[in-house]
Amino acid sequence: MKQDLQYLAGELGISERVIFSSGEVRLPEYLSKMSVACQSSETESLPNAILEYMASGLSVVATDVGGIGELVCDGMTGYLVGSRTPEALAEPVIRLLQDPELRTRMGRLGYQRTKEEFCMPAAIERFQHFYMEAVGGVQERSTTTLPSSTLPTERK
């Protein structure tokens, strides 16, 4: 369908803003060109793509299925959409595109969330806490706060 989609992008006048990859993976390069990440899955478990978007400082609009709601904090790091209609997905995307301050704030919060909750040290700490609790010794969890200098910069 690639040729049909390229033709459609040309007809809509958006060819210069649509990336058609040939299968090569240059994820950081692609994500750096985006303003908002959107995932319209009908089913999901815990999608790495959402974590990659958030780790890149992108605000996220996604359907509220599977484990996506465990990653995206609705109204804070992005928006969760209950209805799978194009209009339901388009509304928060348009809101974010029209409000760079909101988009940047959500992207920064998503970035911070991935660094604090979904990085390897945080996962190890959760496993240690889980096992300590399981054997009867409760260990306090520490919280990590990143300095603001580690947050991504504003996107276009």
In Å, how far are 14, 18, 97 from 5, measured between CA atoms? 11, 10, 23
Triad 39, 2, 45: Cα angle to 5°: 25
The domains found in the chain, sorted by start residue, are 1-26 (no CATH), 34-150 (3.40.50.2000)
For every one of its 156 residues, what pLDDT tens digit does the chain have, with 9 covering 90 and above?
999 999 999 999 999 988 888 777 788 888 888 999 999 998 888 899 999 999 999 999 999 999 999 999 999 999 999 988 999 999 999 999 999 999 999 999 999 999 988 888 888 888 888 888 888 865 565 555 554 545 555 555
Tokens, residue 115: 């660094």
Whole-structure pTM value: 0.74
